[in-house]
Structure 1
Amino acid sequence: MSGIVESAGTEEAPTAQNRTVRSALLDAALEVFTERGYADAGLAEIAARSGIPVGSLFQHYGGKRGLYLALWEEFREAQERRTAATLAGERGRSVDDPIALFVAGARAYLEGAWDNRRFGRLLVEDDGPTGFDALRRQWDRAWVRRNARLLEVDEKRRAGRVRVRVLTTVIGGAARELGDCEDETEAQEIVDEVCGILIHLSAPPG
Structure 2
Amino acid sequence: MSGTVESAGTEAACRRPDRQGGTAPPEAPTGQLRPARGALLDAALRVFTERGYTDAGLAEIAARSGIRVGSLFQHYGGKRGLYLALWEEFREEQERRTAAALASLRGRGVEDPVAVFLAGARAYLEGVWDNRPLVRLLDQDDGPAGFDALRRQWDRAWVRRNARLLKVDERQRTGRVRVIVLTTVIGGAARELGDCADGTEAREIVDEVCGILGHLTARPG
* Short-chain TM bin: over 0.9
2:194 maps to: 179
Residue 91 of structure 2 is aligned to residue 110 of structure 1: no
Q: Secondary structure of the residue that 1:11 maps to in structure 2? A: coil
Q: How does 1:9-88 map onto structure 2 within 5 Å?
A: 9-88=24-103
1:164 maps to: 179
C-alpha distance 4-205 of structure 1, shift in aligned 2 (>3 A)? farther
Q: How does 1:143-154 map onto structure 2 within 5 Å?
A: 143-154=158-169
Structure 1 position 96, deviation (Å): 1.1
What is the percentage of aligned positions where both structures have the same residue? Answer: 78
Residue 202 of structure 2 is aligned to residue 190 of structure 1: no
Letter in 2 for 1:137: R
C-alpha distance 9-148 of structure 1, shift in aligned 2 (>3 A)? closer
**1:204 and 1:123 mapped to 2: Cα distance?**
35
C-alpha distance 18-4 of structure 1, shift in aligned 2 (>3 A)? closer
Gaps of 5+ in 2: 1-10
2:136 to 121, 130, 151: 121
1:139 maps to: 154
Q: Secondary structure of the residue that 1:127 maps to in structure 2? A: coil
1:97 maps to: 112
Higher mean C-alpha deviation, range 55-64 or range 121-130: 121-130
Is the Cα contact below 8 Å between 2:25 and 2:75 reproduced in 1?
no
Runs of 4+ in 1 over 6 A off after TM superposition: none
**2:152 and 2:16 mapped to 1: Cα distance?**
13
Structure 1 position 15, deviation (Å): 3.2
Is the Cα contact below 8 Å between 2:18 and 2:24 reproduced in 1?
no
Letter in 1 for 2:181: V
Question: RCO (CA 8 Å, sep 6+): is it higher in 1 or 2?
Answer: 2
Letter in 2 for 1:131: G
**1:175 and 1:14 mapped to 2: Cα distance?**
36
Q: Secondary structure of the residue that 1:6 maps to in structure 2? A: helix
User: What value does the CA root-mean-square deviation take over the aligned residues?
Assistant: 1.3
Gaps of 5+ in 1: none
Deviations 1:150-173 (A, max 9, x none): 111111110110010010011011
**1:74 and 1:31 mapped to 2: Cα distance?**
15
Is the Cα contact below 8 Å between 2:40 and 2:67 reproduced in 1?
yes
Letter in 2 for 1:5: P
Structure 1 position 13, deviation (Å): 2.3
**1:12 and 1:203 mapped to 2: Cα distance?**
49
**1:180 and 1:190 mapped to 2: Cα distance?**
11
